[in-house]
Amino acid sequence: MEQKKRMSRRRRQAIRKRRILIGVIVLVVAAVIVGAVLLLKQAKKKTTTKEASSKTVQNLNIDNAEQQTKAEGTDNADAKKEDAPDRSGFAVDPNVPAGSDKANEEKTVYMTFDDGPSYNTQAVLDILDKYDAKATFFVTGINPDYFDMIKTAYDKGHTIGLHTYSHDYANVYASQDAYFSDLDQIGQVVKDQIGYVPCFIRFPGGSSNTISANYTQGIMTALSQEVQARGYQYYDWNISCGDGGDNPADVLRDQAISVDYSNIVLLMHDANNKETTVQALPEIIEHYKNLGYQFKAIDRDTFDAHHGIGN
């Protein structure tokens, strides 16, 4: 009995030992598994970080490339500015005469747009850009909302001239003083936009207009001399596209392309209601381009195409 009891106690002890051993093994295996999982996780993290950091490097490279492109763009813009002719010499100066009665030898069209800036100036500029053609804008104060277009046109290489602020015949041709007071007003508007008062002007109605006689007899004779004495030059035209009235675009085109002078000073209008001029413009440019003409903005040496004065 006593022996039996001892035997069973030993067996129980042995069973307990085995259980403890199994427990320890399970713990060790669990620890190993957990360790392995942790190691794997860490390894994965390292790879991701590596990828992320290589991505960052890539991004940095892209950023650098972009910055380089931007820097190059700036360089180009600067270069363009440097390439643009210095036009500060276009400022009115009583000691420097402007204009020429001699045409230049190359076939040239001087497109001139009167009465702007306007709702249509941007459309006109877009077409000129498309054909890389330069032109001249004789501006007024009729649409103050578009004054910034004066600078836009100038910065694209077009010439800005003065056409009077009010464009009101009764006002500008009331007297010489009234004319110059109005001219000064538009001169200041232009100076605010481009930095100086230009020497180029166009009389409302041209120098040959006789409407001015309704207000002051002989005023065009007097003004045509006085403006030159003050350092300005006035520019008339030798062909008009006929957009003063309500002609459709094809009529404007046909009139505009009806001459073959070596120097053409073409009168057109840039005004809120002159959509037909915008419509006709591409075909007018294409016509003269096909005939080998160049398109230039007026400068100090440009043929001034004076009309005969009728008042």
Positions that interact with Zn ion (CB under 5 A):
114-115, 204
User: For Zn ion, which residue has the nearest CB?
Assistant: 114
Report in angstroms how near the CB of residue 182 gets to Zn ion at its nearest: 13
Report in angstroms how near the CB of residue 164 gets to Zn ion at its nearest: 8
Of 197 and 268, nearer to Zn ion (C-beta) is 268
With contact defined as beta carbons under 8 Å apart, do 61 and 196 qualify? no
Of 169 and 196, nearer to Zn ion (C-beta) is 169
Of 116 and 293, nearer to Zn ion (C-beta) is 116
In the structure encoding, which two tokens stand for residue 156, read together? 């694209």
Of 115 and 243, nearer to Zn ion (C-beta) is 115
Report in angstroms how near the CB of residue 69 gets to Zn ion at its nearest: 45
With contact defined as beta carbons under 8 Å apart, do 165 and 191 qualify? no
With contact defined as beta carbons under 8 Å apart, do 278 and 123 qualify? yes
Report in angstroms how near the CB of residue 117 gets to Zn ion at its nearest: 13
CB burial of residue 24 (10 Å; 0-12, 13-18, 19+): exposed
Report in angstroms how near the CB of residue 278 gets to Zn ion at its nearest: 17
Distance CA 191, CA 198 (A): 8
Of 87 and 274, nearer to Zn ion (C-beta) is 274
CB burial of residue 216 (10 Å; 0-12, 13-18, 19+): middle
Distance CA 308, CA 149 (A): 33
CA nearest 239: which of 112, 127, 101?
A: 112
Of 110 and 293, nearer to Zn ion (C-beta) is 110
Report in angstroms how near the CB of residue 200 gets to Zn ion at its nearest: 14
Report in angstroms how near the CB of residue 115 gets to Zn ion at its nearest: 4
Of 138 and 288, nearer to Zn ion (C-beta) is 138
Distance CA 15, CA 179 (A): 124
Of 115 and 304, nearer to Zn ion (C-beta) is 115
CA nearest 165: which of 143, 192, 198, 135?
A: 143
Report in angstroms how near the CB of residue 204 gets to Zn ion at its nearest: 5
Range list of H helices, the chain: 2-83, 121-130, 148-155, 169-172, 176-194, 219-229, 249-256, 275-290
Question: Three-state DSSP class for 198?
Answer: strand
